[in-house]
Structure 1
Amino acid sequence: MPLAAAIRTIPDYPKKGILFRDITTLLGDAKAFRKAVDELVQPWCGGKIDKVAGMEARGFILGGAVAHQLSAGFIPIRKKGKLPHRVVSIAYELEYGVDEMEMHEDAVRPGERVILVDDLIATGGTAEGAVKLLRQAGADVVAACFVIDLPDLAGVKRLQTLGVPVRTLVAFEGH
């Protein structure tokens, strides 16, 4: 089964005119979940990846599985105020304003090779913020991986402008 068939589309969520791409159906299908993780990991098997960073919340699920497959550590990147230890933070732009994300200050050492993982890239604002946060801590961001790309919103181009190669598995037109 193609991965796109395992992803549920919910019209008019969270607001009218939006087609929400829901990966919980993919996560619940053992074969589709395995296929997605295997495809996200494939370019880096046998390579030297120190850490996988996952963005809250579905990036934790996918990133944890990718980190396991690569025998790498995992870095949770969270919304402001959610981590219990000393943090580094960065403000990033959203479609509707500005937010902040954080990671523990000791999550990555300078020069460590990191892959960023999340379920979907749309405008790329959150992913761009995560890349900048990781680089601020000294990480070498090797790539960013997403199950879903919404190419009409140009998020992939935004990351490529930062010099980050991007891997996506499924593209859906529209917003």
Structure 2
Amino acid sequence: KSGKKFIDLGADFRLDAREDYKKWYGSDYKYPELHDASIYGIPELFRNDIKGKSIVGNPGCYPTSVALGLAPALRQGMIQPQGIVIDSKSGVTGAGRKPTQNTHFPECNEAFSAYKVAAHRHTPEIEQTLTKMAGERATVTFVPHLLPVNRGILSTMYAKLKEGVTGEEIRRLYEDTYS
């Protein structure tokens, strides 16, 4: 009502489906009455949608890396949106602010491991975003890993090309999009 825009850095406005939020975050929306005024906000992908909303839900780190990586091929219909495999790695700061046994330096130094396999709360955010870009239901297998570095993120995605699409066409698409 004030005419101001708010960017929420938490997860409160990331998921459209209230049921998904309850399932993955273990609670209800904190401000359900504000969800109609909110939008999921990756400006590189949803700039026009963001313009008309007063609350922008800032995306998670893994979902951002995945969405930006797959957007060109999904939007052009060049890959199958079902069965995408996502292998993501982040530094220990990506695991949150609260110290844990796994993020304690002596425990994570010179080692790395997968965590929350098939149970990471960014999974529905990733699927929701990829579904919007593909125009049809997207499904993923998301495997995050914790690396013994302070920060950084690397996501490698594997998807099947649609019939008739060549690797050369994909390469050109990404060069045109991101160069």
More strand by share: 1
TM-score (ref. length: structure 1): 0.24
**Which is bigger in relative contact order (C-alpha 8 A, separation at least 6)?**
2
Mark the structure with the bigger radius of gyration: 2
User: Which structure carries more helix by proportion?
Assistant: 2
